[in-house]
Amino acid sequence: MRNKKCSYRHTAVPSGRSGSARWAMRFLRWEVAALAVIGWSGGAFAQATSGIAVYGTAAPQQRYAPPPGQDYQNPRQAAAENYNPQGVKMGSFLLFPTLGLDETYQDNIYASSSQIVGSFIQVVNPGLQLRSQWGQHALNFFARGSFGFYSADSTQNYQDINAGFDGRYDISPDSNFYGGASYTRAHYFPGTPNAVAGAFPVAVYNQYTANAGYYQQFGRFRARLDGQMDAYDYLNSGQGINQGVSNTSDLNRIEWRQALRIGYEFLPGYEIWTRGALNQRRYQNNPDSSGLYRNSSGFEVVGGLAVLVSTITSFEVFGGYIQQDYVDPTFPSVRAPTFGLTGYWSPIREVLVKPFIRRTIDESSLSNSAAYINTAGGLDVNYAFRPNIRLDGHADYTVADYQNGGGLQGRYDQYWTFRAGVTYQPTPNFFVGPTYQFVHRTSNQSGLDYNANTIMLRLGAQL
């Protein structure tokens, strides 16, 4: 995962399955894609790659239909319990507008151990999604915003937006092209790995993303070829080397990624796969203000297993090796084993449990470090207490291990995040509910430990 990316990306899924296996494997692949996307995918808080959750409300997540064999309701019962938005029909598209209003109180807005300041925060979250309803091919557009206003310090105010499209062109039932593009304006929330510690204005950046890919199935074999570009343009926040980070203009860069995944379904519902990926990270300023060259190239080789254990349990696990090599000899090559897990377990139709584990090499904004190894694991639990009342729980543990040059020990941060919330929908078009979150960070660097408690009341409307 990268910094708080908000872009949405399309992931191709095979179209040659039938029955419950096809349903569950599609669900699992979309869950894998969702873990690779930060920010805007619904829920009370948007989860950052650091394990920190940040403010911003979307409409309640739509509840996936139970797998075949688990849904015992007749169509009339199912319709009576459906609180998902119906959308507004526009030709062969459906438009889904949302508007969320949050009243939040956080007791440590600077994520500091010494300068502890609490603040009320008002957040406005408008959103639009336009989804095609075609029997073949797909085209979707989206535009979302999150605008936060702090009563204690206006320098923490933010205006985050995300807009773009994704689509799929079906060549045959076994092959398709897919891709998309988006624009994101985002910022570093205090307490996240690349944010400056203390009462400083937020660091804002623009991100431009484009991706394209091709999926092909040959009997039991499946192949997917992906390419992606991310361009980052940072706005001047006045932060720099004196605060322990690179000047914002030094962080402007373009990242390219290419990946090929090949899988084989050796038994129905059991797929083994391998993926090789390359990346190139090219910075605008070479050298930067510290006289360092941050350009790098890297690769990843992993193998995995995707399993449909039953119609109510499925998971994907993988492991391998990642490496990032830097042009400047001051920065050591970063080499590490990598691993990941994603899955779901729905013992009864009202409960959905989603574990995740992931490890990546992410770019660092610290002036003395080029990258950090980001390792995260956690669990999300959703319980539909009633068709219109849902309880959500989240817990994760994250390590940000910064890689310094010259044989020096780098910064080592550990994060614990716990979150619980309730969403009540009096009608399918309105939602309201409270959310509580606790974040704790410990660091081997003095003055970086902190605790933060957040209480939020959500109110929103959707069509």
Burial 233-244, CB ≥16 within 10 A → b, else e: bbeebebbeebb
- Determine the Cα–Cα distance for residues 33 and 235; give it in Å rounded to an integer: 29
What is the Cα 281 distance to its own chain's centre? 20
Greatest C-alpha distance within the chain: 68
Q: What is the pLDDT of residues 303-337, one digit of tens each?
A: 999 998 776 788 999 999 999 999 998 888 999 99
> Any idea which residue has 């690769």 for tokens?
299
Q: What is the pLDDT of residue 15?
A: 38
For the segment 51-86, what is each residue's pLDDT rounded down to a tens digit? 344 444 445 555 444 444 445 556 666 666 677 888
- Angle formed at CA 432 by CA 144 and CA 122, multiple of 5 degrees: 55
Q: Work out the pLDDT band at 242, boundaries 50, 70, 90.
A: low
β-pairing verdict for 53-54 and 88-90: unpaired
Highest mean pLDDT among 23-37, 43-57, 173-187, 197-211: 173-187
Residues 358-384 have a mean pLDDT of: 92
Q: What is the dihedral of CA 318, 331, 227, 271, to 10 degrees?
A: -10
Q: Concatenated DSSP letters for 386-424?
A: ETTEEEEEEEEEEEEEEEESTTPPPPEEEEEEEEEEEEE
Which residue in 163, 165, 166, 125 sits closest to 143, CA to CA? 163
Q: Which of 48-62, 172-186, 375-389 has the lowest mean pLDDT?
A: 48-62
Q: How far apart are CA 416 and CA 398, in angstroms?
A: 7
* Residue among 69, 66, 3, 80 nearest 39 (CA): 3
Cβ(358)–Cβ(337) below 8 Å: no
Q: Who contacts 286 (Cβ-Cβ below 8 Å, separation ≥6)?
A: 293, 294, 295
Q: Is 314 helix (H, G, I), strand (E, B) or coil?
A: strand
Q: Which amino acid is at 110?
A: Y
Six token digits for residue 1: 């995962």
| CA-based nearest residue to 326, from 222, 253, 249, 377 | 253
Sorted by where each begins, the domain ranges of the chain are 19-462
Q: Which of 240-244, 254-258, 384-388 has the lowest mean pLDDT?
A: 240-244
Query: Is the pLDDT confidence value at 246 over 50?
Result: yes
Contact 227/213 with Cβ under 8 angstroms?
A: yes
Which of 3.40.50, 1.20.58, 3.30.360, 2.40.170 is the CATH number of 19-462? 2.40.170
Cα separation values, 14 from 67, 214, 372, 426, Å: 17, 11, 34, 37
Cβ atoms within 10 Å, residue 329:
8
pLDDT higher at 121 or 67: 121
Residue 374 near residue 398, CB atoms below 8 Å: yes
Rounded distance, CA 326 to CA 291, Å? 14
Tokens of 375: 């390792």
Pairing mode, strands 46-47 and 389-404: unpaired
- Return left, alpha or beta for 447; rule: phi > 0 is left, psi -120 to 50 is alpha, else beta: left
Confidence of residue 30 (pLDDT cuts 50, 70, 90): very low
CB atoms within 10 A of CB 409: 9
What residues contact residue 362 under an 8 Å CB cut-off, 6+ apart? Answer: 1, 2, 3, 49, 193, 371, 372, 373, 374
- CA 42 – CA 360 distance, rounded (Å): 23
**Structure confidence by residue, pLDDT tens digits, 226-236:** 999 999 999 87
Instruction: Give residue 392's pLDDT.
Output: 96
Looking at residue 328, the DSSP 8-state letter turns out to be S
What's the CA gap between 145 and 57, in Å, rounded? 10
Q: For residue 48, give the DSSP letter.
A: P
